[in-house]
Structure 1
Amino acid sequence: MYDRYDGLIFDMDGTILDTEPTHRKAWHEVLRRYDMCFDEASVIALNGSPTWRIAQHIIHQHQANLDPHELAEEKTALVKMMLLDSVQPLPLIEVVKSWYGRRPMSVGTGSESVVAEALLTHLNLRRYFDAVVAADHIQHPKPAPDTFLRCAELMSVAPQKCVVFEDADFGLQAARDAGMDAIDVRLL
């Protein structure tokens, strides 16, 4: 089905790994320390964004005097511990396994590299990917195309010869802006 592509790029959270419930739980725990909460619908709309951008949104909603990068670091540390105990691959990982060795593949994620690398290594999935490009590897995260363009570059594949598997509107926009085909895994 994907023979016409020279490279396959996968978002991580909600696409190949079932991390979303754990991310939400970590946000609830961290925000509780500051007597804050978040509107799940508005945070879900930011799926694919780097953690600091979600923190910035939450801080703005509460008009709190917090640094978004520090709040994001706090959440990242907590979620890293929680995810290693709870995360499982989603069914799309079978596509990864079936194309391993046949096409270069990479992960383009809005998560921080420390979380992405830890999860993929812990689940013995890192070996399938030629590259992992995380939010802290690029200057302009999703919905900018930089994440996926860097994936293509690291795989030595022209962007127009790549397909991106995504579960978030920001990621789908980033793929289109990178000149790549995109598959919305929510529709599979």
Structure 2
Amino acid sequence: MSKNIKYICECCGEEHEEWPSLAYSSPTHYNNLTEEEKQTIAELTSDFCVINYADQTDKFIRCTLTQKVIDHCENLEYGLWVSLSDKSFEDYSENFNNENHETKYFGWLSNYPPDYENTTNIPTTIYTRKGNSRAEIIPNNDFEHQFVKDYHNGITKEEAERRINQMLKSIEK
């Protein structure tokens, strides 16, 4: 593809030509719940998700991940969810509106980006950023998984555009 991808933004309803972010509105764990469970044991906002199972509570935050595109001047952006420990989730929640809060947390990737299997077991480091931007996900380099390799080595423009088109087609369904 030599032309930019045109798409209609789900948020504003307008047509854009730059690459869209491949964003997920909820973690996979939430998506796997029944409609009744979503109403009774889960709480989802645009930045936080808590699922209260009988034997445990899972806590997630929405973050970003920037995928380097090795033969193009634009990177591929993802909006993904990660699970955090209780302590990390509480610290993140308490400092969510603190523009100067910078720290890092350990978390587990909690979505399935296209073409990858078993990504919910990928360990990550999450870095908060000044200015209340969403935290940035960095997959742990020592974990053996194609998603991690692609993150650290980069992908081609052709691959990035294929992923974007695949995501856009799944939204249209």
TM-score (norm 1): 0.26
TM-score (norm 2): 0.28
Which one has a larger percent helix, Structure 1 or Structure 2?
A: 1
